[in-house]
């Protein structure tokens, strides 16, 4: 037996009440017995576990949840998992800062280690196993906090399908995927120039870079007597291997093919031509150093030049021996004296020292000038990335560009214009994907290397485990045929160092969540998935990598639809970011306005569009939820009265209008445009409350006799049933509460409304909403006149004259009785037809 509506319904307490009941009842549990054609599967973004959720999470995850709820009501078995992205640099950085520790793999494990109660400025060195334990401890706490917020927000996730990117399931899938890439020749290891983050001491990928504007200095260097070169990185002068000009720049035609000597170091370097040189930049001659920026890398590769590295992985100038191979000089002793003044200095100090040395040597052709330049940074880093030579693992992606562009064209993009971002990224791809990281908390490479009798490590023929052994940790596990005592000994083996980039695991979230190989039955029911929701900033990473992995492994796209969310931005249109301390958490908004209001704000924004937090919209959302409570109470207070098919013109008009709204909302949802669906439903609802309820109230109370009352009550109940289901995806808590007052089960398991039954309930062919629209317009004019006269809306009106188009006057005559009751009108006069609505109102004393 359903509870009766409370006398004073309130939103307070609904979130806790229904979240607890949903958890107990399993209303959102995925039914894995359903065939693939009846399943809607979602590749849910696993949020990075590094502190707290921000408002952007509430924004984008709500937009996904609204779609999931709609699909569930459409009869689909919704596969809606949640993952936690808990490996990678952000997690390690948070652990270092939170506990005041740093990882030192050379240290032994301490079983009873306890981190300091108060972290000091000087972090404590701990072993890798101890560091891993601290990472697991903190991420577990964060994951529990994240889940609590998501549950409070009303996400209809099946929490039994949760995974973590360092969990056993994810490690096994990630290592399996890597070994298969290796077997296909798509994963390779090489000593190659690599994008390097000096703070974290790790390689990073091209897709993880972002451009930032920085202030710097430009220096004009004199090579010999007549050649002047402008550079912002004089500290790399020792790494100079060529000067480059544009082939069509006639100013330097006589220099091409000659050599010049570098100042201070006396190295002979050629003057070469390349199309990427910019004649209008600086002096028109560029200094090619190995390596100052990505353009240097392109020039070096295409011009076939030698390498002269001068940076160490910690971002300091390395010690070199001038006169040795690769560092030839016309005056090795002078070059060595110059270099020794720089060795060991970090880049910024080395730049200052080099400028002073050049000035003293008289090889600065002009005073340094201030410049603003665009510099590449790792997205989580605080210093510009460098390009260093190191041994790393790569996945071939450049050779797949055409195939991946074709896969991208198979996807349905929402909004469509986001497709061009993907295409532009792929077109501009210039380097294979570097997937190795010199970190600790992540998925290790499942490999070992033989150590020769002379102690040399054989990187070319790695020892590979059977897939059945996965996951493995080469730092503790032993390859087949060896003993633990053989580790790091001549004639033995050594474990592969480092871990995979977090994107190497995140790129296979459809496979991890879907049970690839581990659960073939489940995988066949959910893959390829239906939906990938994500932010536009990670099209170049998560979407691109996922598409590449599915293409290589399965020969297909990983999902059919990509819905791209916008950002929540500050008033200056900057993305809210935890790194700047301006990423608001959703808890405050949930506390002040409630989950349904936050969801209303998020669901009302279109895909791909950035937005700001609008408290006005949050208030509207709360008012909408409150109004739904009170309107439902009014309708259900008529319980016990006879209800019949809609026979009254006004009731039929209301149901016709609602049928059109349901059709529009359904089409919008199916086009992955829930904001448009909400807009249509909300506009109808406010008119329903402000106009229809007022117009029909007297008849619903029996003032027009039993037949009119039965028609009104029947129409009201049908409308409430429809509206509760129509708003259920966006306002899950208040609609579930209203549903429980008079229906069994959950509104979220009820069928999505359809327009056809609403029209059929009127008993006539093609009912029109025109009568309600016209009556509402006239009622609004009557109210306006009373307000202007400063009399009560309940004050009687004598004669009301209405002029309008003929078809509107005709239907107005059919609903005149309802209009007169609602407007307290004594005499309604339909005047001669007119092109526009005109209403005259006679009021007492007017």
How is 500-524 classified by DSSP, letter by letter?
A: E-HHHHHTTHHHHHHTTTT-HHHHH
Q: Angle 412-414-416 (CA atoms, 0-180°, nearest 5)?
A: 80
C-alpha span between 514 and 630 (Å, rounded):
43
Average of per-residue pLDDT across 793-798: 91
Q: Are 43 and 557 in contact (CB under 8 A)?
A: no
pLDDT value of residue 666: 98
Distances (CA, A) of 619 to 250, 576, 613: 66, 22, 12
- What pLDDT is recorded for position 207? 72
394-429 burial string, b = 16+ CB within 10 Å, else e?
bbbbeebeeebeebbeebebbbeebbebbeebbeeb
- Which of 206-210, 240-244, 727-731 is predicted least confidently? 206-210
- pLDDT at site 815: 95
Predicted confidence band of residue 476 (pLDDT cuts 50, 70, 90): confident
Q: Identify any residues that bridge with 196 across adjacent strands, giving them in sequence order.
A: 203, 386
* Separation of alpha carbons 753 and 660, rounded Å: 11
- Tally the residues of the chain: 846
Residue 289 pLDDT > 70, yes or no? Answer: yes
Q: Please choose, from the candidates 188, 328, 179, the residue with its C-alpha nearest in 3D space to the C-alpha of residue 262.
A: 328
Q: Which ranges constitute the DSSP H helices of 224-382?
A: 294-303, 332-340, 347-361
Provide the pLDDT confidence category of residue 2 given band limits of 50, 70 and 90. Answer: low
Q: Which residue has the higher pLDDT, 107 or 486?
A: 486
pLDDT score at 23? 95
pLDDT top residue among 798 and 631: 631
CA-to-CA distance for 680 and 725, rounded, in angstroms? 14
pLDDT bin (cut points 50, 70, 90) of residue 19 is very high
Q: What three-state secondary structure class fits 32?
A: coil
Give the model's pLDDT for residue 639: 78
- Among 439, 431, 429, which residue's Cα sits nearest to residue 500? 439
φ and ψ at residue 451, rounded to 5 degrees:
-110, 120
Opening angle at CA 23, ends 18 and 24, nearest 5: 100
Lowest-pLDDT range of 99-108, 575-584, 807-816, 831-840:
575-584
- What stretches of 508-627 adopt beta strand conformation (E)? 529-535, 559-565
CA distance 631 to 690: 10
Alpha helices in 428-541 (DSSP H): 502-506, 509-514, 520-526
171 within 8 A of 502, measured Cβ to Cβ: no
Identify the three-state secondary structure at position 322: strand
The pLDDT, as a whole number, for residue 1 is 54
CA–CA distance from 822 to each of 641, 700, 704 (Å)?
21, 12, 13
Mean pLDDT, rounded, for 351-379: 92
Strand partners, 305: none
Say yes or no to pLDDT of 845 above 70: no
pLDDT top residue among 50 and 422? 422
**CA dihedral (243, 247, 248, 254) positive or negative:** positive
Q: H-helix or E-strand containing 220? A: strand 209-223
Name residue, tokens 């935890």. Answer: 578
Tell me, what DSSP letter sits at residue 753? P
Q: What whole-number distance in Å separates Cα of residue 534 and Cα of residue 304? A: 40
**Residues 721, 761 contacting (CB under 8 angstroms):** no
Q: Which residues contact 563 (CB under 8 A, 6 or more apart)?
A: 63, 64, 67, 414, 531, 532, 533, 534, 607, 672
Structure tokens at 812: 């107005």
pLDDT at 575: 67
Q: Which of 77-86, 230-239, 576-585, 649-658 has the lowest mean pLDDT?
A: 576-585
Least confident of 79-93, 167-181, 223-237, 645-659: 79-93
Residue 192 clears pLDDT 90, i.e. is over it:
no
Q: Is the dihedral of CA 757, 763, 768, 770 positive or negative?
A: negative
Question: What is the pLDDT at residue 179?
Answer: 98
What's the confidence (pLDDT) of residue 570?
Answer: 76
pLDDT at site 513: 98
Give residue 569's pLDDT band: very low, low, confident or very high (50, 70, 90): confident
pLDDT the model gives residue 580: 53
User: What is the DSSP-derived secondary structure letter of residue 541?
Assistant: I
Span 183-192, mean pLDDT?
A: 92
Eight-state DSSP code of residue 689? I
Q: What is the DSSP letter of 446?
A: S
Alpha carbon distance 391, 394 (integer Å): 10
Task: Report which DSSP code applies to 318.
Answer: P
Report the C-alpha gap between 118 and 124 in whole angstroms: 12
Coil, helix or strand for 109?
A: coil
Q: Please state, in angstroms and rounded to a whole number, the distance separating the CA atoms of residues 327 and 607.
A: 55
Per-residue pLDDT band for 263 (boundaries 50, 70, 90) equals very high
- Whole-angstrom CA distances from 205 to 91, 385, 504, 594, 805 are 18, 11, 11, 40, 67
| pLDDT value of residue 640 | 75
Nearest Cα to Cα of residue 195 among 434, 507, 381, 541: 434
Mean per-residue pLDDT over the chain, rounded: 92
DSSP assignments along 157-180, one per residue: --GGG-EETTSHHHHHHHHHHHHH
Answer whether residue 581 shows pLDDT above 60.
no
| Cross-sheet strand order for the sheet of 448-451 | 457-463, 448-451, 493-495
The Cα 143–Cα 159 span in angstroms is 12
Residue-wise pLDDT tens digits, 660-706: 999 999 999 999 999 999 999 999 999 999 999 999 999 999 999 99
Q: How confident is the model at residue 576 (pLDDT cuts 50, 70, 90)?
A: low
Distance CA 507, CA 561 (A): 16
Average pLDDT over every residue of 233-258:
94
Give tens-digit pLDDT for 43-95.
999 998 877 888 999 999 999 999 999 999 999 999 999 999 988 777 888 88
Instruction: Kindly list the distances between the CA atom of residue 32 and the CA atoms of 78, 113, 158, 485, in Å, as whole numbers in the listed order.
Output: 9, 44, 12, 47
- List C-alpha distances in Å: 321 to 335, 337, 838: 9, 10, 95
**What pLDDT sits at residue 806?**
94
- Which residues share a beta bridge with 375? 212
Q: Residue 184 to residues 396, 552, 553, 578, 811: CA-CA distances in angstroms?
A: 11, 9, 10, 40, 73
pLDDT at 846 over 60: no
Q: Say if residue 415 is preceded by a cis peptide, omega within 30 of 0.
A: yes
Q: Give CA–CA dist 777/837, Å, rounded.
A: 8
Q: Which two tokens stand for residue 56?
A: 């952007």
Q: Is 507 left (phi over 0), alpha (psi -120 to 50) or beta?
A: alpha
Structure confidence at residue 530 (pLDDT): 98
3-state helix, strand, coil in the chain (%, to 5): 45, 20, 35
pTM of the model: 0.86
pLDDT of residue 619: 96
Determine which helix (DSSP H) or strand (DSSP E) holds 727, and give its type and residue range.
helix 706-727
pLDDT of 526 strictly over 90? yes
Helix (H, G, I), strand (E, B) or coil at 231: strand
pLDDT reading at 394 higher than 90? yes
Is pLDDT at 647 greater than 70 in this prediction? yes
618 Cβ contact partners less than 8 Å away, ≥ 6 residues apart: 589, 592, 593, 597, 598, 600, 601
Distances from the Cα of 481 to the Cα of 242, 463, 471, 473, 485, angstroms: 50, 10, 18, 16, 12
Give first-to-last CA distance, the chain, whole Å. 54
Question: How many C-beta neighbours within 10 Å does residue 108 have?
Answer: 7
For the chain, give the percent of residues with pLDDT over 90: 77
State residue 579's pLDDT score. Answer: 52
Q: Rounded CA gap, 196 and 205, in Å? A: 9
Between 161 and 112, the higher pLDDT residue: 161
Helix (H, G, I), strand (E, B) or coil at 96: helix
The confidence score (pLDDT) of residue 48 equals 87
137-178 pLDDT tens trace: 888 988 999 999 999 999 999 999 999 999 999 999 999 999
């Amino acid at each position: 037996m359903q509870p009766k509506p409370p006398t004073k319904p309130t939103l307070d307490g609904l979130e806790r009440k229904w979240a607890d009941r949903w958890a107990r009842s399993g209303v959102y549990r995925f039914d894995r017995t359903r065939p693939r054609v009846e399943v809607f599967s979602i590749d849910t973004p696993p949020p990075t576990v590094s502190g707290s959720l921000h408002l952007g999470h509430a924004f984008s995850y709500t937009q996904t949840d609204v779609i999931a709820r709609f699909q569930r009501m459409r009869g689909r078995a919704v596969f809606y998992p949640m993952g936690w992205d808990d490996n990678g640099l952000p997690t390690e950085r948070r652990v270092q800062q939170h506990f005041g520790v740093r990882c030192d793999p050379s240290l032994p494990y301490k079983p009873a280690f306890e981190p300091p109660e108060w972290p000091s400025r000087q972090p404590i060195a701990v072993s890798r196993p101890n560091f891993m334990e601290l990472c697991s401890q903190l991420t577990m706490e964060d994951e529990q906090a994240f889940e609590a917020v998501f549950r409070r927000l009303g996400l209809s996730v099946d929490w039994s399908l949760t995974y973590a990117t360092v969990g056993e399931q994810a490690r096994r899938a990630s290592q399996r995927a890597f070994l298969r890439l290796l077997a296909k020749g798509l994963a390779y290891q090489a000593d190659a120039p690599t994008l390097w983050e000096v703070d974290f001491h790790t390689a990073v990928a091209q897709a993880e870079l972002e451009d930032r504007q920085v202030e710097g200095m430009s220096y004009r260097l004199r090579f010999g007597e007549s050649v002047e070169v402008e550079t912002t990185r004089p500290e790399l002068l020792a790494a100079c291997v060529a000067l480059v000009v544009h082939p069509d720049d006639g100013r330097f035609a006589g220099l091409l093919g000659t050599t010049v000597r570098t100042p201070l170091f006396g190295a002979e370097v050629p003057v070469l031509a390349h199309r990427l040189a910019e004649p209008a930049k600086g002096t028109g001659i560029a200094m090619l150093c190995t390596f100052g920026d990505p353009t240097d890398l392109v020039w070096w590769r295409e011009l076939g030049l030698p390498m002269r590295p001068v940076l160490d992985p910690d971002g300091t100038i390395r010690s070199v021996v001038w006169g040795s191979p690769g560092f030839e000089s016309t005056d090795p002793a002078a070059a060595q004296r110059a270099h020794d003044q720089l060795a060991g200095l970090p880049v910024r100090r080395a730049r200052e020292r080099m400028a002073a040395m050049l000035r003293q040597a008289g090889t600065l052709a002009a005073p340094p000038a201030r410049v603003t330049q665009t510099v590449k940074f790792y997205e989580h880093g605080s210093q510009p990335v460098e390009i260093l030579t190191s041994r790393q693992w790569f996945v071939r992606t450049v050779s797949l560009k055409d195939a991946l562009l074709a896969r991208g064209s198979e996807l349905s993009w929402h909004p469509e214009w986001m497709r061009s971002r993907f295409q532009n990224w792929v077109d501009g791809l210039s380097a294979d994907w570097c997937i190795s990281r010199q970190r600790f908390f992540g998925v290790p490479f499942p490999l070992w290397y033989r150590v020769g009798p002379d102690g040399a490590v054989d990187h070319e023929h790695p020892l590979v485990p059977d897939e059945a052994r996965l996951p493995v940790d080469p730092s503790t596990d032993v390859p087949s045929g060896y003993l633990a005592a053989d580790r790091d000994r001549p004639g033995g083996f050594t474990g592969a160092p480092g871990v995979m980039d977090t994107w190497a695991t995140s790129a296979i979230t459809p496979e991890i969540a879907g049970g690839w190989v581990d659960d073939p039955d489940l995988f066949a029911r959910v893959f390829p998935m239906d939906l990938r929701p994500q932010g536009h900033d990670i099209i170049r990473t998560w979407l691109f990598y996922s598409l590449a992995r599915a293409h290589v492994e399965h020969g297909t796209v990983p999902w059919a639809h990509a819905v791209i969310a916008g950002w929540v931005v500050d008033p200056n249109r900057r993305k809210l970011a935890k790194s700047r301390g301006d990423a608001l958490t959703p808890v405050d908004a949930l506390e002040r306005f409630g989950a349904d209001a936050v969801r209303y704000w998020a669901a009302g924004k279109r895909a791909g569009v950035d937005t700001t937090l609008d408290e006005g919209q949050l208030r509207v959302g709360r008012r909408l939820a409150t109004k739904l409570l009170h309107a439902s109470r009014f309708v259900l207070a008529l319980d016990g009265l006879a209800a019949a098919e809609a026979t009254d013109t006004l009731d039929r008009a209301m149901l016709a209008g609602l049928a059109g709204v349901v059709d529009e909302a359904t089409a919008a949802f199916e086009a992955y445009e829930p904001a448009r669906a909400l807009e249509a439903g909300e506009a109808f609802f406010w008119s329903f409350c402000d106009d229809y309820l007022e117009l029909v109230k007297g008849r619903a109370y029996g003032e027009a006799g039993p037949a009119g009352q039965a028609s009104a009550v029947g129409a009201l109940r049908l409308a409430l049933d429809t509206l509760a289901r129509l708003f259920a995806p966006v306002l899950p808590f208040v609609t579930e509460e209203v549903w429980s007052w008079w229906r069994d089960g959950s509104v979220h398991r009820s069928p999505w409304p359809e327009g056809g039954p609403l029209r059929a309930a009127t008993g006539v062919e093609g009912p029109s909403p025109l009568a309600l629209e016209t009556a509402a317009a006239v009622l609004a004019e009557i109210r306006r006149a009373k307000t202007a006269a400063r009399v009560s809306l309940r004050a009687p009106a004598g004669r009301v004259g209405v002029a309008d188009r003929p078809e509107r006057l005709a239907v107005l005559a059919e609903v005149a009785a309802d209009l007169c009751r609602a407007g307290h009108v004594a005499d309604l006069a339909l005047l001669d037809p007119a092109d526009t609505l005109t209403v005259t109102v006679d009021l007492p004393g007017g």
